[in-house]
A and B are shown apart, each in its own frame.
Chain A
Amino acid sequence: MKSLELKVKKKMHTTEGERYLEFTDKIDQGDFICLVGHSGCGKSTLLRMLAGLTNPDEGKISYGDEVWYDKQSGKNIEPQKRHIAYMFQDFALFPNMTVEQNIMFAQTKVDKEMIKELINIFGLNNLEKVRPTKLSGGQKQRVALARALASRPSILLLDEPLSAIDWHMRPALQDEIIKAHKYLGGISIMVTHDQQEANKMGDRIITL
């Protein structure tokens, strides 16, 4: 069973001055991890380092036998090759593509059956041909989740996916995320600033 191992150190420039983010952990397959902590503590930075969007100053990140980042050997696998899915706070849905095209774009080889299945799972049946600008916050989140699953990633990274969603809609969408995690059966790491949300969703909660 593959596990994600990371030992990283990163200097961060925050509003309260410079501080170091130091993090060491081992995350097993099937785990849903919630990262909590105050603003500027480095939750999103940690997620970005895992995705390869930000480089640590020191340390090593590996997934199974595959080394993604190693400062000592100078190895740094680009985000394209890490086989992760990253769900951004703003969902990052491409406005030039329809819902269906957004989901399709995540796949290397188009699997129409899977796209149909994802559209059904996330209740997007009447929205396939709609562009993201016409969608509500909750609909955007469901499209972003469907897109994140479309490539069957090994690791699902979620950066405050519910921060832009109304409170009354959150419980249903939290369930959607758990559904997505179970569908993949891999590792999911979610950043949240809501302790209750973390308690409900996480198999393990890490406070930074």
Chain B
Amino acid sequence: MIANADFIQTMATTGNLALWTTIILLIIGLPIAYFLAYGDFKGKSAVEALICMPMVLPPTVLGFYILLAYSPQNSFGAMLEQYFDIRLAFSFTGVLIASVICSMPFMIQPLQNGLALLPSSYREASYTMGKSKTITFFKVLLPNIKGSIITAIAMTFAHCMGEFGIVLMVGGNMPGNTRVASIALYDEVQSLNYEAANQYALLMFVVSFIALTIIYSINKSRRI
């Protein structure tokens, strides 16, 4: 395998994007999963459907709408430019926000399922012992869904590593900034540079394989 500067730079961008997306989603995904698992509010099904949309919608569709939202010709993009002097289109931050939206179901679904599958008596027992909802969440619920948390992290990270459509739509293909491994792979194939293409493909294959092996070994150890 030949590791050149372009390859390292692209993999660093890809890893950075996957890492930050996973961290951000873990932070915002836990409270969202909690409210979806235990909350009973009007419009819950609509919220669940909205969060799951990226799983069924082509990433290019999602990317198209996000790109429109980022555009200074629209209110959100104009507001960002006017008040904060920020342009999200074709920037790493813009791609990161899009990636967070696109990967949301991969983080939230395992967490929500993990929480929903815990017996309600755990929560209720903790409350009757005088423990607050926050203490119950961190000391009783979270430690008992460790498997779901690791699954959510592995799924989100692996999915982000292979992000293509949404990154291309929102971020373009700017080396060192928004060029990720899957786009670089496509470029290399288009240039008939199969050796370089294989480097990207092999690394993404290995990362996905490791992530899935982690998930399956956790699920297996939980069954025993």
Contacts and interface: CB of A to CB of B under 8 A. Distances in A.
Q: Are A and B physically bound partners?
A: yes
Interface of A: 51-53, 78-86, 88-90, 92, 94-96, 105-106, 108, 147, 151
Given A53-B127, A84-B128, A105-B129, A96 B121 contact: no
Contact of A90 (B121, B126, B140): B121
A88 B122 CA distance: 9
Contact of B130 (A81, A88, A89, A95): A81
24 contacts: A51-B124, A51-B128, A52-B127, A53-B124, A78-B127, A80-B127, A80-B128, A80-B132, A82-B128, A83-B130, A85-B129, A86-B125, A86-B128, A90-B119, A90-B121, A92-B122, A92-B124, A92-B125, A94-B122, A94-B125, A94-B126, A94-B143, A105-B126, A105-B139
Interface of chain A: mostly helix, strand, loop or mixed:
loop
User: Which 7 residue pairs of A and B lie closest in terms of their CB atoms, listed nearest first?
Assistant: A96-B143, A92-B121, A92-B125, A88-B121, A86-B128, A79-B127, A106-B129
Contacts, number: 54
A80 B131 contact: yes
Contacts of A52: 127
A167 B184 CA distance: 68
B144 A88 contact: no
Contacts of A90: 119, 121
Nearest to A106: B129
A105 B127 CA distance: 11
Interface of B: 119, 121-122, 124-132, 139-140, 143-144
B122 A79 contact: no
Contacts of B139: 105
Given A95-B144, A96-B143, A105-B139, A88 B124 contact: yes
B115 to A, nearest CB: 14
B130 A80 contact: yes
